[in-house]
Structure 1
Amino acid sequence: MSATVLITRPKAQAEAFAASLEAAHGGPVNCVISPLIEIAPVAVVGALDEVKHVVFTSINGVSQAMRVGIPVGITAWCVGTRTAQAAAELGFDVRIADGNNRSLVALIVAQAPVGRMVHLRGRHVAGTVVDDVSAAGINCEAVIAYDQVAIAPTQLALDTLKGETPIIVPLFSPRSAKLFGQIADFNAPLHLVVISEAIDVVQQNAPVVSRAVAKSRDGVGMVAATLARYAEISP
């Protein structure tokens, strides 16, 4: 029986993840894209024209940089390759971590940059980048540039969840897991793939058959873990 991969990330990231799955798989992967979060820009108070360093932990932050007035060409400390590529395309001088917040903090602390630094982020975050960088004596400010607004699943996603086909659900954050857990009427057997041990779906009636944790806390790890489960269910 072929499995379905249900991707609940914001639209652009969901499409990119589906493309990464197919590229790594070397062929089509049965995916249903149903974002549970929509990126909504928010007003930023205060000028940012004197910022010398910007921290990006997602492409969503990069997409808001020009709108809020981050100076082009300054150093951008990026969590991973995909985020760095997006920042470089806008003209930032990128520094690239190994795909997770821990390596990003380590990179910043090791190079000890001087000058005003901001973490351009969403209202909801997993991790403590600003606190961890500041604890090392490097001043870093959080600037909330967008909100991650919850949206309803698509009818296709609901129909798929009510079916009998096994569903693989990659979950990248505790909030995504929480929103997914709020969907009613699960029937299909669920196989969760999570980016960290802290992420789970807490719902009494959710038919969770398995839960796999990615070996690395980044997109590469999530692609590998998702495809490993896909291969087991869809030989």
Structure 2
Amino acid sequence: MTACVLITRPKAQAAAFASALQVAHGEPLRCVISPLIEIVSLKVEGAFDDVAHVVFTSVNGVNEARRVGILQGIPAWCVGSKTAKIAMNAGFDVRIAKGDSRSLVSLIAGKSPKGRMVHVRGRHVAGTVIESLDAVGIHCEAVMAYDQVAVMPTQAAIDVLRGENPVIVPLFSPCTAKLFSQIADFNAPLHLVVMSDAIDVQSRDTRVFSRVIAGNGAGLGMLESTLAAYAQFSP
């Protein structure tokens, strides 16, 4: 009884995670990619040439920052290592938190940066970065640069969910977790791997055999936890 990993991230990120799983596993591993959201850029008003600091809580935010004209080279406060890597490749001067919004706020608060700060984000976000920064006296503007539009699951995803073999489902965002919880027609034993407590809350309506919150909020923790679940349910 071989398990399957069902990856519901946006297409490019899903493909990258599937590839990382295969490399880390070292042998064939069945993955089904079925994005439940599509990233759609939004029209953004205003000028950003005076921005001194930018906050990134996702790779999508980095991509959109370049589109709206935020200058490269300025300090970028990144939630985790994967986002930081993309930001560094895009020309930003990165600072790296420990993979969750709480550590990101703590990192920024500890340095008390001066000048205009913006958080480039989607319509749906995990955590309360701006509110938490405001509570410690640091003003940060929200730049809503993209939307996460719901997408129907693929037939391949429906087939594995209706099957009898275990399905490992890593969930990386509250938005995706909520959408996945709305899929009612499944028979397979589900094993969720969620990246944070906030995501876990949104997945609580999903009937599962097991769930685990990744020990490390960043991508490495999700990779390790997903592989551990796959090994457990693929004897």
Q: Does 1:115 align with 2:115?
A: yes
Within a 5 Å distance, the mapping from 1:5-154 to structure 2 comes to 5-154=5-154
1:223 CA displacement: 1.3
What residue number does 1:202 align with?
Answer: 205
What residue number does 2:187 align with?
Answer: 187
Helix, strand or coil for the counterpart of 2:192? strand
Helix, strand or coil for the counterpart of 1:144? strand
Q: Distance in 2 between matches of 1:47 and 1:68?
A: 8
Q: Distance in 1 between matches of 2:197 and 2:111?
A: 29
1:148 CA displacement: 0.4
Equivalent pair of 2:32/2:157 in contact (CA under 8 Å): yes
Sequence identity (%): 64
1:216 maps to amino acid = N
Unpaired stretches in structure 1, ≥5 consecutive residues: none
Q: Distance in 2 between matches of 1:18 and 1:182?
A: 23
1:175 CA displacement: 2.0
Q: Distance in 2 between matches of 1:182 and 1:64?
A: 29
Equivalent pair of 1:109/1:138 in contact (CA under 8 Å): yes
1:18 CA displacement: 1.3
1:99 CA displacement: 1.7
What residue number does 1:213 align with?
Answer: 213
Q: Distance in 2 between matches of 1:210 and 1:82?
A: 27
Instruction: Give structure 1 regions of 4+ aligned residues with deviation exceeding 3 angstroms.
Output: none
CA 1:53–1:197: 2 relative to 1, 3 Å: closer
1:129 CA displacement: 0.7
Q: Distance in 1 between matches of 2:218 and 2:230?
A: 18
Q: Does 1:165 align with 2:168?
A: no
1:201 CA displacement: 4.1
Q: Deviations over 1:189-219 (max 9, x none)?
A: 111111234412415xx4x211122112221
In the alignment of these two chains, the number of paired residues is 232
1:20 CA displacement: 2.1
Equivalent pair of 1:180/1:201 in contact (CA under 8 Å): no
2:215 maps to amino acid = K
2:49 maps to amino acid = D
Q: Distance in 2 between matches of 1:3 and 1:225?
A: 14
Q: Distance in 2 between matches of 1:227 and 1:94?
A: 29
Q: Deviations over 1:77-100 (max 9, x none)?
A: 111111111111121111111222
1:161 CA displacement: 0.9
CA RMSD of aligned residues (A): 1.3
2:228 maps to amino acid = A
2:140 maps to amino acid = C
1:26 CA displacement: 2.3
Equivalent pair of 2:98/2:217 in contact (CA under 8 Å): no
Helix, strand or coil for the counterpart of 1:212? strand
Higher mean displacement: 100-109 or 47-56: 100-109
Q: Does 1:175 align with 2:148?
A: no
Q: Distance in 2 between matches of 1:72 and 1:127?
A: 26
